[in-house]
Amino acid sequence: MDAPLDSPAAADPSPRLLREPGEGGRVRARLEGDWTLLALRERVEALRGELGEVPTANVSWDLSAVRRLDPTGALLLWQAWGRRQPEDLRWPPAPMKDMFQALFARLGSKQGKPARPPRIQNVRQFGQGLLNLASHLLDAVALLGQVTRDLGTLVRHPNLIAWKDISAHLYRSGAQALGITALVGVLVGITLSYLTAKQLQSYGADIYVINILGISVWRELGPLLAAILVAGRSGSAMTAQLGVMRVTQELDALSVMGISHTIRLVLPKMAALALSLPLVMTWTSCMVLLGGMVAARATLGLEYVQFLQGLPAAVPVANLWLGLSKSAVFGLMIAFVACHFGLRIKPNSESLGTGTTDSVVSAITVVIIVDAIFAVMFSDVGLKQ
């Protein structure tokens, strides 16, 4: 808060501290100029030293010649006063007096506010976290119920299905994701095959690199890697799209027109991601195996033909179906979480950024939890021929 200019513009705005002898042996500390962040930027240390040399007793402070005062200058004086207002203090005339007093009153109120014990503060943060989690769960259950209800509506009225939106999301989350998933898949395959081959080579079990790569890729690594990449790429884009629609009040416009958000926005995204992610998973797994095959050829001398012929025999087909099923479920969960956070975004830019970040983190967490559930439920599927 700046006090208005009260002296001629030609006056020197530099902040100064003048010490003069007063009545009865008292020291008069007179402040002049602008005590603002801009004026203090080069003299703050020097003035802090000068203020520290002013005695704490038998001193009167004169602020009547101060032209401007902002929180930086007020804090500097407040610290020099020992964080309390001196008894002998001369204020400038109104309205500057009211502004100065408001600044020091604010500093005094912050100082007088009792600090919460760390344990109480931790308990409060934990409780607030539980309330936020409960709020998210309630909204997610409400959204799931609305999605289920609107699915029944689409069964009775197929003409309401947004085929163009589904096709657009299929292209964005599927075809446009092939490049990054191929690059990551090849690099992961090379790394995994190289490390595995080094261990197997010491036991003379080089050929089993095909079994390890095939089962781990089709069963776990391929679906999980594709889901994480799609969650970070497409899931964040879905949340941001809904958030921008909230900021621009397009969601409110749809509600006014009587158009369901879930039919028009949520269900097309869920359907598209449930269809595209299994295809992306297949592509990613093939790229991982391609990188693994190249690394196995370089480290173990394993021929490409031998690798390709041994892969179907080493990996039961049940692993492929399990990976495809997991990917479809992952796609539904990623789209659902992205839409959940997108619809919760408030109409401001800060909420948009926070919601998008939380959406990606939550989607990846949900994918890992669901993958662990699949691993326990189908632990005996596809591992025995």
Q: What is the rounded radius of gyration, in angstroms, for the C-alpha atoms of the chain?
A: 34
User: What pLDDT, in 10s, does the model give residues 86-128?
Assistant: 888 888 888 888 888 888 888 877 655 555 566 777 787 888 8
Max Cα distance, the chain (Å): 105
* pTM exceeding the 0.75 threshold for the entire prediction: no
CA neighbor of 355 nearest in space, from 277, 271, 244: 244
Q: What is the DSSP letter of 4?
A: P
* Residue 364: per-residue pLDDT: 94
Residue 12 CB neighbour total at 10 angstroms: 11
- Position 8 scores a pLDDT of 44
Give the per-residue pLDDT at 1: 44
How far does the chain reach from its first CA to its final CA, in angstroms?
Answer: 77
Domains, in order of start, for the chain: 16-112 (3.30.750.24), 161-377 (no CATH)
Given a cut of 70, the residues of the chain with pLDDT beneath it are 1-12, 110-118, 382-385
Neighbour tally for 51: CB within 10 Å: 16
Token look-up 């409400």 returns: 142
| Cα dihedral 57, 58, 59, 60 sign | positive
CA-to-CA distance for 110 and 105, rounded, in angstroms? 9
Instruction: Give the chain's mean pLDDT.
Output: 85
Cα 367 to Cα 139, 144, 231, 303: the distances in Å are 19, 17, 9, 36
Q: Is 92 left (phi over 0), alpha (psi -120 to 50) or beta?
A: beta
pLDDT at 83: 84
137-186 pLDDT, tens digit each: 898 899 999 899 989 888 898 888 888 989 998 998 888 989 999 999 99
- The pLDDT value recorded for residue 158 is 87
SS3 95: coil
